[in-house]
Amino acid sequence: MIGTLINAGAVLVGGAIGLFVGSSLPERYNRVFFHVVGLFTLVLGISMAIKTSQPLLVVFSLILGTISGTLLELQGKLEKLSERIKTHFRIGNEKFSEGLVVAFLLYCMGSLTVLGAIEEGSGNPPKLLYLKSLMDGFSSIALASALGIGVLFSVIPLLLYQGSLTLMASFAFQSMPENFINELSAIGGILLVALGFNILEIKRFDVVNMLPSLVFIIVFVWLFL
């Protein structure tokens, strides 16, 4: 778990720097950061999404996942939780929940997350997670300067998700099929594209309601591939 802990620490440090930089810049520069983060999120999401070799499984996962998330009202529940956290910690950032979700997907849905967790879980030095920590640390500077303190709170789901993958790797498997990683990354990429549209205010998606798609793609890959 040392790799995941270092990863979380890098996000916290980078996010803190981003908050300081963002608060000291004029509003027009903050808007520039915001636009750059949106464009980067779009491009990264597209690059991840095109990795799929099973588009039908991806589509069905998105449909079933979004329906499930809508029925469960995940978006509304997260927004209520965000409001409680903001009230408790006296946070005035309007983009708290968006920053949290963007950061979580950006840090946790790439292939480096899965491969790094497998590497550490199988008993090897977490070199991939060290590399990921460096990348995430720099990314969190830009994210936090544009989206605020929600980026720092993303370390909580990061620890839970990435840590769980590491534990699963240590108990269940020493390697993971490439198609599993590609399809999971593809779903994550599509969710990032939706977030990119949200950030750039092109089209509003309830991305949190789409998160169960990640569970469905795992089930479909295990059943059919």
Tell me the average pLDDT across 161-170: 84
Neighbouring CB atoms inside 10 A of 205's CB total 17
Number of domains in the chain: 1
- Please answer whether residues 139 and 14 qualify as being in contact, where contact means their C-beta atoms are separated by less than 8 angstroms: yes
- Spell out the residues 6+ positions from residue 1 whose beta carbon is closer than 8 angstroms to its own: 120, 163, 166
Share of the chain above pLDDT 90, in %: 22
Lowest-pLDDT choice from 41-45, 136-140, 178-182: 178-182
The pLDDT confidence band at residue 147, using thresholds 50, 70 and 90, is confident
Is pLDDT above 70 for 76? Answer: yes
Report yes or no on 216 lying in a domain: no
Is pLDDT above 60 for 29? Answer: yes
Is pLDDT above 90 for 170? Answer: no
CA 46 to chain centre: 14
Report yes or no on 197 lying in a domain: yes
| The pTM of the whole model exceeds 0.95 | no
> What pLDDT shows up at residue 191?
87
Which of 27-36, 50-59, 161-170 has the highest mean predicted lDDT (pLDDT)? 50-59
Is pLDDT above 70 for 7? Answer: yes
Tell me the average pLDDT across 161-169: 85
Domain hosting 25: range is: 2-53+93-204
> What pLDDT shows up at residue 25?
66
Tell me the average pLDDT across 112-125: 77
Which of 93-97, 114-118, 137-141 has the highest mean predicted lDDT (pLDDT)? 137-141
Tell me the average pLDDT across 54-66: 95
pLDDT tens digits for range 9-21:
999 999 999 888 8
> What pLDDT shows up at residue 174?
52
The pLDDT confidence band at residue 204, using thresholds 50, 70 and 90, is confident
Tell me the average pLDDT across 4-32: 84
What's the chain's average pLDDT?
A: 83
> What pLDDT shows up at residue 86?
64
Longest pairwise C-alpha distance within the chain:
53
The pLDDT confidence band at residue 155, using thresholds 50, 70 and 90, is very high
